[in-house]
């Protein structure tokens, strides 16, 4: 697998994403594997009325909108200006008032807003972390734990290897994996290591597919 991160190319990819692309759909009940992962991630967040949720790699904001009735506030960040424009249109159409969107990234989550002042105690990343190389994943999770108010929770639902991806090549399209310079999924063992290194007190792993899973972590 290639291990080179090109933020500019990734931004361009999402800025030019077709309206009908399933990668950044606005329907949380679409029925594909991303919708399945997202719905499970929201369950594992265990949101309540006092929570502030950070949705990192929010895309068009479908999970931010889906989470909004269950918590005090949702903050969505994304590197794509086009995705953020669509996300703001999405919340306007949905009549949602407790969601805000800002430009930001895993490597610089506070690009437009100081998230440390937002009392964020829940973080979700759905189908977004796999764009980072492994060293960047480690650094990004470390930064998120510094923002996170304790007790807090970080849930990642994404492409991650539970088995050799070469054995499941016929399922790559099904899970929206493309072995190109923009996709850098990690093994489940490495993903657990990332959170252990970042000081998670509890780590729960759920396999959804041989190539897709969820990690729910608690920080006390």
pLDDT tens sequence across 18-46:
887 888 888 877 889 999 999 999 999 99
- Look at residue 2 and tell me if it is in a domain: no
Going from the C-alpha of 186 to that of each of 48, 164, 180, the distances in angstroms are: 31, 11, 14
Helix ranges (H only) for the chain are 7-15, 33-45, 62-67, 81-94, 134-147, 188-197
80 occurs within a structural domain = yes
What's the rounded Cα separation, in Å, for the pair 76 and 96? Answer: 13
Q: What is the pLDDT of residues 91-145, one digit of tens each?
A: 999 999 999 999 999 999 999 999 999 999 999 999 999 999 999 999 999 999 9
**Half-sphere exposure (Cβ direction) of 100: Cα atoms closer than 13 Å:** 11
Bridge partners for 75 per DSSP:
54, 100
**Separation of alpha carbons 167 and 123, rounded Å:** 32
| Other beta carbons within 10 Å of 173 | 9
How far apart CA 147 and CA 75 sit, in angstroms, is 13
CA-CA distance, 205 to 166, in Å (whole number)?
22
Nearest Cα neighbor of 83 from 121, 137, 147, 128 is 128
Residue 204 domain-assigned (yes or no): yes
Domain membership flag for residue 152:
yes
CATH of the domain at 146: 3.40.50.150
Asked if residue 34 belongs to a domain, the reply is no
Give the whole-angstrom CA distance, residue 218 versus residue 199. 9
Domain that holds residue 157: 7-18+39-219
Q: What tens digit of pLDDT does each residue of 63-78 get?
A: 999 999 999 999 999 9
CA distance 39 to 16: 26
pLDDT in the model for residue 33: 95
Report if residue 23 sits inside a domain: no
Phi, psi for 68 (deg, rounded to 5): -55, -35
Phi, psi of 45 (to 5 degrees): -65, -25
Integer Cα distance of 40 and 204 in angstroms: 13
Q: What's the total number of domains in the chain? A: 1
Let me know if residue 122 belongs to a domain.
Answer: yes
Residue 169 lies in a domain: yes
Instruction: Look up residue 173 and give its two tokens.
Output: 């399209």
pLDDT in tens, 151-189: 999 999 999 999 999 999 999 999 999 888 889 999 999
């Amino acid at each position: 697998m290639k291990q080179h991160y090109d933020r500019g190319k990734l931004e361009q990819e999402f800025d030019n994403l077709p309206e009908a692309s399933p990668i950044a759909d606005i329907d949380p009940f679409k029925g594909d594997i991303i919708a399945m992962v997202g719905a499970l991630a929201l369950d594992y967040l265990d949101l309540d009325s006092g929570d502030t949720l950070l949705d990192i790699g929010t895309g068009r904001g479908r999970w931010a909108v889906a989470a909004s009735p269950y918590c005090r506030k949702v903050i969505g960040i994304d590197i794509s200006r086009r995705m953020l424009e669509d996300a703001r249109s999405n919340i306007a159409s949905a009549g949602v008032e407790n969601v805000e969107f800002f430009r930001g990234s895993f490597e610089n989550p506070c690009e437009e807003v100081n998230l440390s002042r937002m009392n964020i105690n829940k973080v979700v990343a759905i189908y977004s972390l796999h764009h980072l190389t492994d060293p960047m994943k480690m650094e990004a999770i470390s930064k998120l734990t510094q923002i996170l108010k304790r007790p807090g929770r970080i849930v990642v639902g994404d492409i991650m290897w539970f088995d050799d991806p070469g054995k499941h090549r016929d399922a790559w399209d099904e899970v929206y994996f493309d072995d190109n310079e923009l996709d850098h999924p990690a093994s489940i063992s490495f993903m657990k290591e990332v959170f252990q290194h970042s000081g998670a007190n509890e780590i729960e792993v759920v396999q959804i597919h041989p190539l897709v899973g969820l990690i729910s972590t608690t920080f006390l």
